[in-house]
Amino acid sequence: MRSTVTKRGQTVIPAKVRRQFQIGPSDGLEWFVEDNTIRVVPVKKDPVAAFRGKGKGGATARLLEERLADRVHE
């Protein structure tokens, strides 16, 4: 994908990229320069909220089962 830079140094993030990374208004972008490459990483306002729900699930159920088993063995 390609975009251009305006006279004011602005560019547009392609819609496909915005959707894939769930980038919305007021979300931040962190810029890294590595050798001859620029890497742009989206940064959410609340990184914990952005991570919430990303797990595969089942961890809570396993934890509760382990705690119950521990109580039984006490």
Is the pTM of the predicted complex or chain greater than 0.95? no
Q: Structural domain boundaries of the chain?
A: 15-73
On the question of pLDDT at 50 being above 90, the answer is no
* pLDDT of the residue at 53: 67
Question: What digits encode the pLDDT tens for the residues 16-37?
Answer: 999 999 899 888 999 999 999 9
Q: b/e for 17-40, b at 16 or more Cβ within 10 A? A: eeeeeebeeeeeeeeeeeeeeeee
